[in-house]
Structure 1
Amino acid sequence: MNLRLLIPFFDPTVKDWSLTARLMRWLTFLWLAIGMFVLFSASYYHGEVEKKDGLYYITRQLLSIAISLVIFNAIVHSPLRKLLKVAQWILLGILVLLLLTVLTGMGQNTMGATRWIAIGPIQLQPSELIKPFLVLQGAKLFGRWEQYSIRVRVTWLSIFAIVLLAILKQPNLSTTSLCGIGLWSIAFAAGLPLRYLAGTAIGGGLVATMSLMMHSYQRSRMLSFLNPWQDERGDGFQLVQSLLAIGSGGVWGNGFGLSQQKLDYLPIQDTDFIFSVFGEEFGLVGGVLLLSIVMSYATLGLSIASRSPDPVHRLVAVGATTFIVVQSLFNIGVAAGMLPTTGLPLPMFSYGGSSMMASLIQSALAIRVARESAAAKVIPIRL
C-alpha cells in the first residue's frame, strides 16, 4: 500500500489528473485553509473562557480534518461504481443512527434540538453525515430511474422521506430543507417529469408549513428576521448581534483576530454565525472574496457535471455541488439577515467534525467524477 495516497497534500498522482479535478482539489484546500484561520479567531476566546484552553476547539477541529482528509483521498482514488454499490448500506446504517437519535433516549439535546448521538467518546451528528450518501443514492436512483421497477422506486423514495422526517423530528427544519432541495435538484437534473417535481415541491412546502405551525420558536425565527430590532433582546438577539458584527467590519474589516462581537456578544460564533466574525474581521472585501470562492466552486462543480458522459456520475457532481453551495448561501444569508435564522453550519468553516467530514466527502465525490470523466489514470489504493 502506498501510504502517500492517504495524504492529500503529498499525493504523487495529482499530476496525472484532469485540470478540473486539480482545480476542484485546490479550491477545496483553499476554502478549508481560510476556514481554519477564521475558526481559530472565532473560537479562541470562547475556548479560553469555557474550557480554560483557547486552542480547545481548533485542535479538535484539526483532528477531525486529519481523519476527514484520509477519507477524502481514499474516495478520490476509489472508482465511483464501488462507491455507488456501498452507498445504500452506509445510508441505511446512518439512518439507523438518526432514528436512534430522535426516537430513543440516546440522542443528546442541545439548545432544544436532539441532533447528536454519542458512540463511546465520539459525538456524531447523523443528519450531517448522511448528506453525501443521499447524493450517491439519489444519483443512482434518479440516474437509472427508467431501469428500476416501481417497487424499487417507491422503496427508495420512502426511505428518503423517512430520512427527511427523522431530521425534521429533531427538530431541524433547515437541514431537512437542504436535504430536500439537494434530492430535488438531482431529480430535476435527471429529467424526471415536471409533474412529479412540482408535486414534491408543493408537498415539501406543506410539510415545512406544518412544522412552523407546530413549533413556536420556528415561527418566531421566521418573523424576527423581518425586523430583528423589534425584539433585539429576545428573538431578534442573534441576528442583531450578527448585523452589528458585519456592519462594524466596514469595507476592509477590523483585522484578523480583532472581532469584538465574538467576545460574549454574538452567540454560537464558531458554528452558525462564524460568517459574522469573518465579516467583522475582513469586511466587505473579505465577504466578496468568500462569495467568489463559493461561486467558483459552483461553476466548477457544474462544469464537471456537464462534462461527464455517465448520467449517474453527472448527478453525483450536481448533488455534491448543490449541497455545499446551497448550504453555504443559506448560512451567509442567515448571518446577513436575508434569511430566517437557521442552524446550518458554514461548510469547511464552522466547528464540527460531522459537518467537516460530510463537506470533504462531497468535495471528494466531485473530484472523483472529474477524474473519471476525463479518463484520467486511476490509481486505486491497494490494501
Structure 2
Amino acid sequence: MSITVLRPTDQRPRDRRTNPRASNEGGLAASLRGLLPWPWEAWPTEARLLLGLVGLWCALGVLVLASASWWVAEREMGDGAYYLKRQLIWMAASWGLLLLGVRIPLRRWLHLAPLALLVGCLLVAATLVVGSTVNGASRWLVLGPLQLQPSELVKPFVVLQGAALFAHWRRIGLDQKLLWLGVFGLLILMILKQPNLSTAALTGLLLWLMALAAGLGLPLLLGAATAGGLLGAASITLNTYQRLRVVSFLDPWRDAQGDGYQLVQSLLAIGSGGVFGEGFGLSTQKLQYLPIQSTDFIFAVFAEEFGFVGSVALLLFLLLFGFVGLRVALSCRSNQQRLVAMGCTTLLVGQSILNIAVASGAMPTTGLPLPMISYGGNSLMASLLICGLLIRCALESGGLVPISRVSRRRRPVPAR
C-alpha cells in the first residue's frame, strides 16, 4: 500500500531557478561543504568544539593585537593598522593550512613527517650560518620580503615524528631508535645554539611528555630529564644574557630601569588592570613603556585592558581547549593517533601557559609567543596547522572515513 502526501498549493517550495537568494545560499553552502572532508552534520562533537574554539581564539587574537600594536604602528610605520593587516594576511594563509590538516588523512601527514623534520633541521642549521641576527639571536632566515623562523615551523612535524617513534618503540630496531633520538637531540642543540633556550626547552619537554604517555621505561625517562636539566643549566651558565634574565626574574625591582625593565613594566601593566580592566584599547603600558608588547608580552596588554576577570576567563578557555583535546586523545583508536592528539594539545596549551607565566613573573623571561594571539606569521602558521591535525584526530577517532570512499547514492525521490 502506498501513501501519497499532498502539499497545499500555497506551501509548495519555490523553484530555486526563480529564487536568486536560494540559489546564492545553496552555492555558498556547497562551497563551504567543499572545504570540509565530511558534512558538518557528521562531525563528532569534539571536532565541532575544537573548530569553534580555534575560531574564537583567532578572533580574540585579532582584537588584542589590534589594540596592542596600533599606537606603535602609527608612530613607527605611519599606519596604525600596519601590523594588524599583515597578521590578517598570515591568518588567511594559516587557515588554509588548518583546512589542509583537516582534509588530509593523518597517515599521509605521518608519512610526510620524517622528510619535513629533516628539512626543518637543515633550515635550523642554516640559521646558524646565514641567519638574520636580532638582539643577539640568529633565529630567522630572510628570503626576500619573508622572514622564516624554522624552529617555529618545525613544531608540527616534531609532534608527528615523535608520535610515530614512540608509538612503535617496542617494534622498531635499535638503529631506528638511535637515529631519530639523534635527530631530535641535534635539533634541540641547534635551537639552543641560536640561542633560543625557551623553544629548545619546550621541544624537549614536549617529546619527554609524549614518551611518558607512550609508556617508555622509567630509567630512560629519568635519564632524558637529567640530561635536559644539565643542558639547560649549562646554557644559562655560558650565555650571559640568559643568566641576567634569571637574576632579573628573581628580583626585577633591583634594576627596574635595566635588566629588570621588561618584567617590571609587564607587572605594572597586569597590576593596572585591576579586577575588570581599563577597557578595550585603553592600555597605557603599550604606549612604548612595555617593550615587545605585540609579541612575547602581549598578555600583559590583555590583562591591563580586561583585568583579573578577563585573565581568568582566558585561563578557563585554555583549560576547556585542553580538556577537549585530551578527550580526543583518549578516544583515538590507535596509539599513534593518541600521541598526535596529546602532543598537539600539550604544545598549544603548554606554550600558552608558559607565555602567561613569563609575563606575570612566574618564570624567567623567554621568547615564546602566545599562540594565535602574538604577532608573527611563523607561529601562527605552525599553531593553526597543529590545530588542523588535532581536529583531524577528532574526526578519525569518531569513525569517519574519507568521503571518497562512501558511495554517493541519491536518495530515492517518491513518486508524485
The answer to whether the superposition gives a TM-score over 0.5 is yes
Report matched runs for 1:353-368 at 5 Å. Answer: 353-368=377-392
Structure 1 residue matching 2:141: 3-state secondary structure: strand
AA matched with 1:322: T
2:49 aligned residue: 23
Residue 97 (str. 1) matches residue 123 (str. 2): yes
C-alpha distance in structure 1 between counterparts of 2:203 and 2:90, whole Å: 23
Contact 1:78 1:380 in 2 (8 A): no
Residue 326 (str. 1) matches residue 354 (str. 2): no
* Structure 1 residues 81-138: Cα deviation after superposition (integer angstroms, max 9, x where no partner): 1110011111111111110011x1x211111111110123211110100111000000
AA matched with 2:140: W
Shift of the 240–7 alpha-carbon distance from structure 1 to 2, 3 Å rule, reads farther
Superposition TM-score, scaled by structure 2 size: 0.88
Give ranges in structure 1 of 5+ residues lacking alignment.
none
C-alpha distance in structure 1 between counterparts of 2:91 and 2:314, whole Å: 20
Contact 1:77 1:380 in 2 (8 A): no
Contact 1:5 1:12 in 2 (8 A): yes
Larger CA Rg, structure 1 vs 2 = 2
Shift of the 357–265 alpha-carbon distance from structure 1 to 2, 3 Å rule, reads same
Residue 172 (str. 1) matches residue 196 (str. 2): yes
Structure 2 residue matching 1:145: 3-state secondary structure: coil
Match of 2:309 among 280, 285, 288: 285
AA matched with 2:304: E
Contact 1:77 1:379 in 2 (8 A): no
Match of 1:132 among 138, 147, 156: 156
Residue 69 (str. 1) matches residue 68 (str. 2): no
AA matched with 2:265: Q
Measure how far apart 1:379 and its partner are: 3.4
1:295 aligned residue: 319
AA matched with 1:334: V
Q: Which moved more, 1:336-345 or 1:44-53?
A: 44-53
AA matched with 1:316: V
2:9 aligned residue: none
1:50 aligned residue: 76
Residue 209 (str. 1) matches residue 233 (str. 2): yes
C-alpha distance in structure 2 between counterparts of 1:12 and 1:202, whole Å: 46
2:185 aligned residue: 161
Structure 2 residue matching 1:296: 3-state secondary structure: helix
Contact 1:43 1:269 in 2 (8 A): yes
C-alpha distance in structure 1 between counterparts of 2:255 and 2:144, whole Å: 41
1:152 aligned residue: 176
1:271 aligned residue: 295
2:398 aligned residue: 374
Give ranges in structure 2 of 5+ residues lacking alignment.
1-29, 406-416
C-alpha distance in structure 2 between counterparts of 1:204 and 1:56, whole Å: 40
Q: Which runs of 4+ in 1 moved over 3 A?
A: 2-8
Structure 2 residue matching 1:345: 3-state secondary structure: coil
AA matched with 1:188: L
Count of residue correspondences: 376
Contact 1:6 1:73 in 2 (8 A): no
Measure how far apart 1:6 and its partner are: 7.4
Shift of the 12–154 alpha-carbon distance from structure 1 to 2, 3 Å rule, reads closer
Contact 1:317 1:366 in 2 (8 A): yes
Report matched runs for 1:28-47 at 5 Å. Answer: 28-47=54-73
Superposition TM-score, scaled by structure 1 size: 0.96
